[in-house]
Amino acid sequence: MARLRSEPLAFVLTLCAALLLFLHQLNVLKPAEDFGMLMLAPAQDFLSAVFSGIDRQFAGFRDAQDWRQRYEERQALIDQLLVENTRLREKEAENATLRELLSFKQANPTYNFLAAEVTGRDPNPLLRFILIDRGSSDGLARAMPVVTARGLVGQVIEVYPHSAKVMLITDLASSVNALSQETRAAGVIQGDVNGGLVMRFIAQGEKIDKANVVLTSGLGGRFPKALVIGQVQDVRQRDVELYQEAEIRPSVNFNALDTVLVITNFTPEEK
């Protein structure tokens, strides 16, 4: 029954379509078509603008993604180059230190040196010690002097099988007999609370000047002679006191120690 009702409807629709096509061919419908196109033009323009905007949005999104990807790739390359540059700079600094130590060893053939790496420091700011990676198994013993190419560092005070503890000359308990290279004025180098060095017990009649180089004197037998300690920065003199004092700038940068030399063939006279 439904099929019978739909057949006339289909026939009517087909007939209308054929009639409209025939009228279109004769241009009878052209005024109506033009009017319809005119009415639909704003909607078409609006839809065209909307879809164009959507296309631009997606294009911009794709461009942003491409830009971000390129940025991340370049940033990764920059990071890689920075790491490589840092590694090369560290290697260059290490090689420079080793060249200095080798030159120092060659300039002091009377001593036997054993190179050691600094592996630790005492966290107490008033206790100035370092740990090195050489010990009794390497031939180290207590009281052996420790130096760098720039000057005196300190003295071994404790020895373990594979490590040792070194007291720096900046420690408050350290004392080193010293003299001015230029005037031969003698005194004792001691550490101060600020981590620097002071030359004490300089007789009032002795002459000592700023910029004088201070060396170990060898007196007392605890350190070899003529090791560089530092340079006079200031002289403190008071007529009412028996001794002068001099502030000494250390020749060694104790905050940047990484490799040191232990003098293994010097026998100190322990006190």
Residues 57, 129: one domain?
A: no
Q: Which residues contact 218 (CB under 8 A, 6 or more apart)?
A: 177, 224, 225, 226
Domain that holds residue 66: 33-107
- The pLDDT of residue 89: 81
What's the pLDDT at 7? 63
Helix (H, G, I), strand (E, B) or coil at 204: coil
pLDDT digits (tens, 9 = 90+) for 199-237: 999 999 899 999 999 999 999 999 999 999 999 999 998
Strand 259-263 to 164-168 pairing: unpaired
In-domain check, residue 270: no
Q: Are residues 58 and 190 in the same domain?
A: no
Report the alpha-carbon distance of residue 77 to residue 71 in Å, rounded: 10
User: Percentages helix, strand, coil for the chain, rounded to the nearest 5?
Assistant: 40, 30, 30
- The model carries a pTM of 0.68
pLDDT of 257 reads: 93
pLDDT (0 to 100) of residue 172: 94
Q: Is residue 11 part of a domain?
A: no
Predicted pLDDT at 46: 66
* Separation between Cα atoms, residue 228 and residue 145, nearest integer Å: 13
CATH number at residue 255: 2.40.10.340
How far from chain centre, in Å, is Cα 20?
A: 85
Cα-to-chain-centroid distance, residue 104: 28
The answer to whether residue 271 sits within a structural domain is no
Q: Please check whether residue 68 lies inside any domain of the structure.
A: yes
Total domains, the chain: 2
- Note whether 59 and 125 are same-domain residues: no
Helix (H, G, I), strand (E, B) or coil at 72: helix
Q: Round to whole Å and give the CA distance between 271 and 259.
A: 28
> Which residues of the chain have a pLDDT value below 70?
1-13, 15-61, 270-271
SS3 2: helix
Helices (H) and strands (E) counted in the chain, each on its own, are 2, 12
**Identity of residue 85:** N
Dihedral, 151, 184, 191, 161 alpha carbons, nearest 10 = 40
Q: What is the chain's mean pLDDT, rounded?
A: 84
pLDDT, residue 1, reads 47
Residue 22: inside a domain, yes or no?
no
Which residue, among 252, 264, 196, has the nearest Cα to 224 in the 3D structure? 264
Task: Say if residue 170 is in the same domain as residue 125.
Answer: yes
